[in-house]
């Protein structure tokens, strides 16, 4: 992965402040120089910047820096991570006004798994869940524990027993007629929002409601989604899903309804 800060290749002076671990980000896929849900990614970054830094993020500059980074890497297809932080941020004086910086990472395009994955329900609630902040240690820790137990990933369940989200992904369920989106405190992903809009355009029934682990026995399919794409879930804990591929096909059609914005 190559890194660019404020549109320029990163030098070593940028890296140390970036490790302070105070900031937020978004991840996205670029295909042919275009992005699905670009406006939603910009909205997420601007909201996070206001909340964490009491500052505004200029959307035009952001888009220009991303285009510059892609051109410097000579790619039209890429995995991209855009992180907003500040080289001037001092954790000893966190209320001090600081200028913001934008770190852009350009990597190879993502590919999706074909086989259904098995995920382990674990008790965890993401801190400041509505912000896609850089405090990702618990997400990867629980994923690692799930893999040690023979699963592919972790699915989070809050203190009330409600399913919220996966380690780095949202989840949709299929009850045979409707798509069910879990109602719980979670990071609402751009892909999830695009899928909901796409399902509405297709006239497909969907609902957001609380989903407890015992309720999974009434679901016939489950699919995970994030910026890298969609993949089927074959099993959550001991609950096996037989129609995850059917839900995957439906959600792929729904995602196809989302337009690609040329950068």
Q: pLDDT digit string (tens) for 160-179?
A: 999 999 999 999 999 999 99
**What is the chain's mean pLDDT, rounded?**
95
Residue 71 lies in a domain: yes
CATH number at residue 59: 3.30.470.10
pLDDT band at 8 (very low <50, low <70, confident <90, very high): confident
Residues 166 and 44 occupy one common structural domain: no
CATH number at residue 135: 3.20.10.10
Boundary residue ending a domain (88, 107, 126):
107
Q: Are 211 and 222 in contact (CB under 8 A)?
A: no
What is the per-residue pLDDT for 39? 98
Whether the per-residue pLDDT at 9 is higher than 90: the answer is: no
Residue 175 lies in a domain: yes
Using DSSP bridges, classify how beta strands 117-123 and 153-157 pair: parallel, antiparallel or unpaired: parallel
pLDDT band at 28 (very low <50, low <70, confident <90, very high): very high
As a whole number of angstroms, the distance between CA 252 and CA 250 comes to: 5
Residues 80 and 21 occupy one common structural domain: yes
Whether the per-residue pLDDT at 12 is higher than 70: the answer is: no
Model confidence over 29-72: pLDDT tens digits?
999 999 999 999 999 999 999 999 999 999 999 999 999 999 99
Residues 13 and 103 occupy one common structural domain: yes
Residue 112 lies in a domain: no
Residue 74 lies in a domain: yes
Regarding pTM above 0.75, the answer is yes
Number of domains making up the chain: 2
What is the per-residue pLDDT for 49? 98
Helices (H), the chain: 12-18, 38-53, 59-73, 137-148, 190-202, 244-255
Residues 122 and 218 occupy one common structural domain: yes
What is the per-residue pLDDT for 224? 98
Residues 126 and 37 occupy one common structural domain: no
Residue 263 lies in a domain: no
What is the per-residue pLDDT for 13? 65
Residues 153 and 223 occupy one common structural domain: yes
Q: Is 221 exposed, middle or buried (0-12, 13-18, 19+ CB in 10 A)?
A: buried
Residue 130 lies in a domain: yes
Domain hosting residue 44, numbered range = 2-107
What is the per-residue pLDDT for 113? 81
Whether the per-residue pLDDT at 22 is higher than 90: the answer is: yes
Whether the per-residue pLDDT at 16 is higher than 70: the answer is: no
pLDDT band at 14 (very low <50, low <70, confident <90, very high): low
Residues 50 and 80 occupy one common structural domain: yes
Boundary residue ending a domain (58, 79, 107):
107
Per DSSP, what are the bridge partners of residue 2?
106
Burial of 224-244, coded b for 16+ CB within 10 Å and e otherwise, reads bbbbbbbbbbbbbeebebebb
Residues 165 and 252 occupy one common structural domain: yes
Model confidence over 136-151: pLDDT tens digits?
999 999 999 999 999 9
Boundary residue ending a domain (79, 107, 135):
107
Q: Is 257 exposed, middle or buried (0-12, 13-18, 19+ CB in 10 A)?
A: middle
The stretch 98-123 carries a mean pLDDT of 94
Residues 101 and 166 occupy one common structural domain: no
What is the per-residue pLDDT for 6? 80
Closest CA to 160 of 142, 181, 178, 186: 186
Residues 121 and 103 occupy one common structural domain: no
Whether the per-residue pLDDT at 17 is higher than 70: the answer is: no
Higher confidence at residue 240 or residue 6?
A: 240
Residues 125 and 36 occupy one common structural domain: no
What is the per-residue pLDDT for 7? 83
Residues 165 and 70 occupy one common structural domain: no
Residue 48 lies in a domain: yes
Higher confidence at residue 232 or residue 115?
A: 232
The stretch 73-98 carries a mean pLDDT of 95
Helix (H) or strand (E) holding 115: none
What is the per-residue pLDDT for 2? 79
């Amino acid at each position: 992965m190559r890194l660019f800060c404020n549109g320029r290749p990163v030098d070593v002076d940028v890296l140390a402040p970036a490790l302070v671990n105070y900031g937020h980000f978004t991840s996205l896929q670029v295909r042919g120089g275009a992005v699905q849900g670009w406006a939603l990614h910009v909205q997420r970054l601007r909201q996070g910047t206001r909340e964490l830094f009491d500052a505004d993020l200029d959307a035009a500059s952001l888009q220009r820096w991303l285009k510059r980074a892609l051109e410097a890497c000579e790619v039209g297809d890429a995995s991209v991570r855009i992180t907003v932080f500040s080289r001037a941020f001092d954790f000893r004086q966190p209320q001090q006004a600081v200028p913001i910086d934008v770190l852009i990472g350009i990597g190879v395009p993502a590919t999706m798994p074909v086989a259904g994955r098995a995920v382990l329900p674990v008790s965890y609630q993401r801190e400041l869940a509505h912000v896609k902040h850089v405090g990702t240690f618990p997400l990867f820790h629980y994923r690692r524990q799930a893999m040690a137990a023979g699963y592919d990933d972790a699915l989070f369940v809050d203190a009330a027993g409600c399913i919220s989200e996966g380690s780095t992904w949202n989840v949709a369920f299929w009850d045979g007629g409707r798509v069910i989106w879990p109602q719980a405190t979670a990071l609402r992903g751009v892909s999830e929002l695009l899928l909901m809009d796409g399902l509405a355009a297709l006239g497909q029934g969907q609902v957001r409601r609380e989903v407890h682990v015992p309720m999974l026995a009434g679901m016939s399919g489950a699919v995970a989604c994030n910026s890298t794409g969609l993949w089927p879930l074959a099993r959550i804990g001991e609950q096996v899903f037989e129609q995850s591929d059917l839900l995957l096909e439906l959600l792929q059609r729904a995602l196809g309804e989302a337009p690609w914005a040329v950068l």
